[in-house]
Amino acid sequence: MSLTSLLILVAAQTAPAAPTLAQETWRFDVAGTARTALVHRPQPGTGLAPVVMAFHGHGGSGSSFANSVRLTEAWPEAWAIYPDGLPTASTRDPEGKKSGWDNARPATDSRDLAFVDALLRRLGSESGVDATRIFAMGHSNGGAMIYGLWAARADRFAGFAPSAAAGARGLTAAKPAFVLMGEADAIVSPELQRASLAEVRRLNGAQGEAKVTGFRHDYPGGTPTAAYIHPEGHRFPAEAVPSIVEFFKSLSR
């Protein structure tokens, strides 16, 4: 073994291990229906910690979205909660064989808003949760769920990050928002997504010319508003997660 190889081996063996974050599954009975969520607790010693709920797209799961988003790598000081959807019919899955979110309005008829309420109650019983910094993000059908939460539970969240989704029409409460979209999306039309972004900017009073850094757009004025507009299709841009985290870190409810 060369001296260089030996030094590399010794360094690898003596380097401090990355902190291991606690992972568990929370289980609920919501109106007689079993619901689950994958939960990553924040690293020890964090104190009052923010929370991010991350909603998978249609056909996904909490664990699969966790593998895509990897929130704990970008924000180990935060609670990362990945709820699991239920079989849900959609235009692409009319028989409802795959999991998703119902996004029902009004809120009183929504099984998934009731699930979110159960998650919020559980968080309220946990020590170390900063109730002023609870955020929600989601992709596709999960992004539509974010707009549903914005419409029905705006007072419980400090900010939102919908991806590859439309649904801002009819929102009434200005809230910090980081909107993600692909200009070549063949599932949720870019025109609808741009219309939702325009409505978010109007509602938030963020009408100034954007400061553009790469794919990120920051809109001045009013309630904090940003977007990540990439040239690809209907995918969650995992590379944008550090920007989402940076945006969330600057907020409180």
Of the candidates 66, 64, 41, 67, which has an alpha carbon nearest to the alpha carbon of residue 123?
A: 41
Enter the DSSP assignment of 210. P
- pLDDT, residue 90, reads 86
Place of tokens 């100034």: 208
> For residues 174 and 88, is the Cβ–Cβ distance under 8 A?
no
Residue 30 maps to a domain? yes
Domain count, the chain: 1
- pLDDT, residue 5, reads 44
Host domain of residue 244: 17-249
Residue 9 maps to a domain? no
Residue 76 maps to a domain? yes
Question: Across the 253 residues of the chain, what is the mean pLDDT of every consecutive 10-residue run?
Answer: 43 44 90 97 92 97 96 96 94 90 71 96 96 97 96 96 95 97 97 98 96 98 97 97 97 77
Residue 5 maps to a domain? no
Residue type, 94: P
Residue 102 maps to a domain? yes
Of the candidates 24, 52, 74, which has an alpha carbon nearest to the alpha carbon of residue 129?
A: 52
Residue 191 maps to a domain? yes
Query: What is the CATH number for 234?
Result: 3.40.50.1820
Of the candidates 138, 141, 149, 161, which has an alpha carbon nearest to the alpha carbon of residue 227?
A: 161
Residue 171 maps to a domain? yes
Residue 1 maps to a domain? no
